[in-house]
Homo-oligomer: A and B are copies of this chain.
């Protein structure tokens, strides 16, 4: 057996920031070298950030990625780090003639093997995901090479993210060609309970490949995606050896004992049937260096998993924090109604950027109840956020003097006046506007276009109403005690930050006298179960009724959901925590006469 010390660089990068991401590679490599690592592995497309979307199709961007990778290789060597090989995700291009249907410039979702000042080999993702949030057939051409390099007497293979998820391809080729360790850079976005699926997958693929597997995931927020880290190492028999925390950066250094490479295995290139209708060229070569000497292993530890609500809350905080930071905002503003949605959103914001950078506006109208104002004020007191009160009555009156609006049009007007006040404060003071709508509202269209949906980021857009309450209770329960979350995720409020009355009172939009959500929508516990079956599981009308949902309600809710597509398309992005957050992962035509209900 050969003992390899590998460092899994579970760190954050920012899309497009080649120089900044490059510096992070340098830092992490230095830290790994100081800890004696023999190999450092970075997440998928670390150098460019992920996802790059149409930047992949821009010649100047791909050129810059390739050039920056070469520069970084030299710089690592110049700084005395050239002896530590690294595996770095970057954007490369294939040498292919242009043709229709092939992404412009033939970009590759690649990983470079860098050693002694040079890119000694490059591989690229073979299986390109093109479902859910992924559009990789649009952006990349398929990789068809698999490098296996000898490192200190052991063979190390490299595959990328989706190559682990789909059958056949690199994993099957590793099994055929033989290697001691398979390292896998990933940019695998968070979804509830994905960590369980991920571990099971890694165990299975390690056994299939017949070797240890090091899974390195990205961490951090990027637009709608939140990468949750959770990097891990399993042995060739599927035993979990090490695991990094969720949602936090970590340089996970692990000693893995792997079989010594077969000294008879010839260097060079050879084709292998990839068992998926394609073939892959294996490129076997050696990285020069000393063979491994025995040494006692470090104890990398297996980070504890977060509880289900803590996991979601951490994703929301990280999503907001990184969106604010990466887009260069210094503060946020939101409307505080006294209701639970804005109370939770404010709390997430306080945790994400600190209460001193959270600004709230109380915007009472003639229909606001007394408790609305007092509950909002109570939250301000508990959290110490900046607050101002802007009554909307005079502005609404000014509109109504010019145009007559009744019913829904008058209700929408109030929501829009509030949206405009927030946008005005944003433009004047540079705050990012956070919208406070939840997923149940977004699904059913229970919101006002350009009103409560106006803003730059929507922290709870993927959180159903029933879970809004759960998260509020969970967050209040963490006050004054250590949470299981990584350090810095929860602001140290000594007392529960959310007023109990905001959690327990009946939900109302307060846009007309005596209005209650249940006048327009079914009770949320009923609605959320139905939405889950219709939206996440894509069940049709008949299947929904067969699953036990009330037939009349099924018809009504399907109609509401189907008619709200335009509103959803106009909604700000927000952290994704489910398979279908109404972003790219669920998209219907606007002009659409299909009704499940007819």
Binding site for B on A (CB under 8 A): 14-18, 20, 49, 51-55, 57-61, 63-64, 99-101, 103-104, 127, 129-131, 135, 137-138, 162, 165-167, 222-223, 322-323, 326-327, 390-392, 394-395, 397-399, 401-406, 408-409, 412-413, 416-417, 419-421, 423-425, 427-428, 449-450, 454, 456, 538, 540-543, 566, 570, 572-573, 586-596
Contact = CB atoms under 8 A, between A and B. Distances in A.
Contacts of A427: 405, 408-409, 412
Contact of A428 (B129, B406, B424, B587): B406
A20 B454 CA distance: 36
Contacts of A401: 394
Copies of this protein chain in the complex: 2
Contacts of A165: 100-101
Given A137-B130, A541-B60, A420 B409 contact: no
4 tightest A-B CB contacts, nearest first: A60-B540, A16-B594, A409-B427, A398-B398
B421 A399 contact: yes
A531 to B, nearest CB: 15
B456 A60 contact: no
Contacts of A222: 589, 591
Contact of A588 (B53, B406, B543): B53
B596 A60 contact: yes
A452 to B, nearest CB: 12
Contact of A591 (B137, B323, B409, B412): B323
Given A14-B593, A54-B586, 11 more contacts: A15-B592, A15-B593, A15-B594, A49-B589, A60-B596, A130-B130, A391-B402, A395-B399, A412-B424, A412-B427, A413-B424
Contact of A593 (B20, B408, B413): B20
Contacts of A20: 593
A419 B450 contact: yes
A428 B412 CA distance: 10
Nearest to A398: B398
A501 B412 CA distance: 37
26 contacts: A15-B592, A15-B594, A17-B594, A51-B589, A52-B589, A99-B166, A100-B167, A101-B131, A101-B165, A130-B130, A130-B137, A137-B138, A222-B589, A322-B591, A323-B591, A392-B402, A403-B425, A405-B427, A405-B428, A408-B427, A416-B420, A416-B424, A420-B450, A423-B450, A450-B450, A570-B570
Nearest to A416: B420
Given A590-B573, A592-B55, A424 B399 contact: yes
A161 to B, nearest CB: 12
A15 B454 CA distance: 29
A549 to B, nearest CB: 15
A55 B421 CA distance: 38
Nearest to A19: B598
Contacts of A542: 60
Nearest to A570: B570
Nearest to A427: B409
A223 to B, nearest CB: 5
A398 B403 contact: no
A391 B399 CA distance: 10
Nearest to A392: B402
A588 B16 CA distance: 10
A59 B540 contact: yes
Which of A138, A454, A456, A590: most chain B CB closer than 10 A?
Answer: A590
A591 B223 contact: yes
Q: Which one of A131, A401, A587 has the highest number of Cβ atoms from chain B below 10 Å of its Cβ? A: A131
With a 10 A CB-CB cut-off, give which of A222, A390, A424, A591 has the most chain B CB atoms: A591
Contacts of A570: 570, 572
Contacts of A424: 399, 403, 405, 409, 412-413, 416
A14 B591 contact: yes
Given A421-B399, A427-B408, A326 B593 contact: yes
A91 to B, nearest CB: 11
A594 B131 contact: no
A424 B448 CA distance: 11
A394 B398 contact: yes
A390 B405 CA distance: 13
A61 B542 CA distance: 12
The interface centre, meaning the residue of A402, A542, A586 with most chain B CB atoms within 10 A of its CB, is A402
Nearest to A580: B54
